Structure 1
């Protein structure tokens, strides 16, 4: 063996692709002309077999944002968008199941425009089909604790899915303007004019942008620097809904991620139909769910708590979009929780916030945590809407706390 050969061999070894954890993926036909895509990663822990760790299903927001894309490569999966190992991947603590839902999201697709989901009931029903098929084919997960984690609008879907599983198993001037807009939204919701409420939501966001010189809804410390151009004229009926889609779904489908999902990942998966482009139907997903967008899910959370299902709420300190959601019932996630009818709510509210740190060596507070019985609340500092992307260490620690692992 010559020295040249050894050097080449070593260089080849050093630059080889990182070893990926065990994984599986597939499609489930949930209805006629509607198919849902899922992608499973088995837990990758050096000291524990995956059978000793829980299974987490991750749901992205939007509706129409892809968990198999954004959640996977931008937040909690084993590799980042550069296909480099992620130090804070959740696979250290659990197996993770990503699902592109509702149908039409990411690699999921419909072959008929009438097959898009238009309400939470259909979204939930479709997911039940996916989960039944998943656990039927992956019997090794049938006796493993199952958790649903979600982000943004995904939280609404997660609550409804969990309940179904249980059954079957600004400055003064600007603040005044925003408050006035929020009251109009609430009035529309009370009248059950939900499509109008979504339209008014879009107008409220316009007011916030005007009063804050283009604040980034996902992290209030930054401003929106990318130009989003709607394809409809400002006077058209669909224009406000397109603006909402561009802010909250297209925002996540960054060019680099789109190139990856429609390039190398598509080739790796091998089962994506030729006519399906990752994210190609996402706008239609959002538009079809427009009337459902502003319907609250507080009653669903109440039912989950009453059924003794563990519920965790987490929120980024710098997240504006969720605060706008709950401005309808006063600012903040805590105010939303105060609307619960849960009999133990007063005892939960009386609990003191406990400071959390990313490690025993750290002296900087990374989050605050409050817990009582089967309700937990995490307030993640220095994080915007995408908590795992902004504070990966704290997000991973939260997962270990929620799933009762040593941390």
Structure 2
């Protein structure tokens, strides 16, 4: 397959052209660059960097943030960029709450096969977070080697959903690589947003959470609880693929007992036109059902048209036979044996190593509900956890509504937790101003 091994373009003013040659929306101001890194033979990872665009401050005075999407198989350069924190939204309108105003942002389509990243064969797809981390280390080593201006700038990894599980593993390997002199960068911390750190703690608390919010009755609570216990038995026995299959069945049972609750925001509703594409049958192949529920919604038709149309044309380096999101479901399936494994021990290692670790969660998220997050946090072996749990949190006002509580947080030594109110799984989409303020606090800009 012919394609550039790397490709970068830096521009001060970018114009999106329609098929007819005219303007197709507003311009995106600011310096950008993008490219590919061959992380293994037959495995090609795509990245896209936006330099911080703040008229009052040079990018050299602001942090660098890498954003990792979940899934696994969801695209950072697509969903994270155009739906959450990038300079433009899906309609190519400027986003008021873009993180680019406070940091340079590096989007990476990770693992390989996600977004514009791709593999030459199915065998090159990752099967566990260890390989995900080693692939990312190859990319980061090349990135910081070629972008020397970022070597001394504070570097943070922010993540969402399964991206948090990957971020934890990547952060630990990066910390080791820096200490060994293999990567030169100023790693300053990792933030785990609504993250799949302890899958079992999440599924065991779905029933109580839904019951407390009047979304399950007594019979439903019992049925969901029994299904969750089946997942627990599989996890306890180390039957990881079976645990993933039982988790899919549990989700179907939750849907049937709640009239189709939105797993990403319990107050949200799926559009009627999308119901068939999201809801699954108990008889459906479990991997297909999981991909339908958790991958396809992040690859909506309109976003896919944008990425495979105007964005692809703008980037100019995507191989002809690569489609944005084309391998997404294969990525999910390949990681199915690793999906239900916890990485609480990795977080413990990060804390013990002195890495700044932040957990943040949306109040209305079901898939990674806050109760489950608090449970695994309390199980940490880190010596500071007892003092942390005894602390009282601090209230934060909504940035646009002084006097209205928008979040709570607390921090002890190198660990912090943010509870974001009125937000679901995708916090920057639901509460953009609060997400931006939180990022600035974590990166010590406030």
Note the aligned Cα RMSD (angstroms): 1.9
Structure 1 runs of 4+ aligned residues shifted over 6 Å read none
Aligned to 2:252: 206
Task: Map 1:1-400 to 2 at 5 A.
Answer: 17-169=26-178, 170=211, 171-225=217-271, 226-229=274-277, 235=283, 239-323=285-369, 331-359=371-399, 362-400=402-440
Q: Supply the distance in 1 between the matched residues of 2:281 and 2:122 (Cα, whole angstroms).
A: 23
Q: Supply the distance in 2 between the matched residues of 1:156 and 1:107 (Cα, whole angstroms).
A: 21
Q: Secondary structure at the match of 2:398?
A: coil
Unaligned ranges ≥5, structure 1: 1-13
Measure how far apart 1:20 and its partner are. Answer: 2.0
Measure how far apart 1:285 and its partner are. Answer: 0.2
Q: Secondary structure at the match of 2:403?
A: coil
Per-residue Cα deviation, 1:32-60 (whole angstroms, up to 9, x for no partner) = 11100000000011111001111000000
Q: Supply the distance in 2 between the matched residues of 1:189 and 1:343 (Cα, whole angstroms).
A: 27
Q: 1:339 to 1:228 in 2, by over 3 A?
A: farther
- Conserved? CA contact 1:358–1:397, under 8 Å: no
Of residues 349-358 and 260-269 in structure 1, the stretch that sits farther from structure 2 once superposed is: 349-358
Per-residue Cα deviation, 1:270-316 (whole angstroms, up to 9, x for no partner) = 00000000000001000000010000010000000111100010101
- Conserved? CA contact 1:387–1:395, under 8 Å: yes
Per-residue Cα deviation, 1:349-370 (whole angstroms, up to 9, x for no partner) = 0111111113386111011111
- Conserved? CA contact 2:241–2:336, under 8 Å: yes
Measure how far apart 1:173 and its partner are. Answer: 1.9
Q: Secondary structure at the match of 1:363?
A: strand
> What TM-score does the superposition give when structure 2 sets the normalisation length?
0.83
- Conserved? CA contact 1:188–1:196, under 8 Å: yes
Unaligned ranges ≥5, structure 2: 1-22, 179-210, 212-216
Q: Secondary structure at the match of 2:88?
A: coil
- Conserved? CA contact 1:315–1:378, under 8 Å: yes
Q: Secondary structure at the match of 2:404?
A: coil
Measure how far apart 1:224 and its partner are. Answer: 2.9
- Conserved? CA contact 2:77–2:109, under 8 Å: yes
Of residues 265-274 and 345-354 in structure 1, the stretch that sits farther from structure 2 once superposed is: 345-354
Measure how far apart 1:15 and its partner are. Answer: 10
Per-residue Cα deviation, 1:366-402 (whole angstroms, up to 9, x for no partner) = 1111111111111101101100000000000000100
Measure how far apart 1:16 and its partner are. Answer: 7.8
Q: 1:68 to 1:241 in 2, by over 3 A?
A: same
- Conserved? CA contact 1:316–1:387, under 8 Å: yes
Q: Supply the distance in 1 between the matched residues of 2:225 and 2:129 (Cα, whole angstroms).
A: 27
- Conserved? CA contact 2:243–2:340, under 8 Å: yes
Q: Supply the distance in 2 between the matched residues of 1:102 and 1:308 (Cα, whole angstroms).
A: 26
Measure how far apart 1:177 and its partner are. Answer: 1.7
Of residues 250-259 and 67-76 in structure 1, the stretch that sits farther from structure 2 once superposed is: 250-259
Measure how far apart 1:176 and its partner are. Answer: 1.8
Q: 1:322 to 1:360 in 2, by over 3 A?
A: closer
- Conserved? CA contact 1:317–1:382, under 8 Å: yes
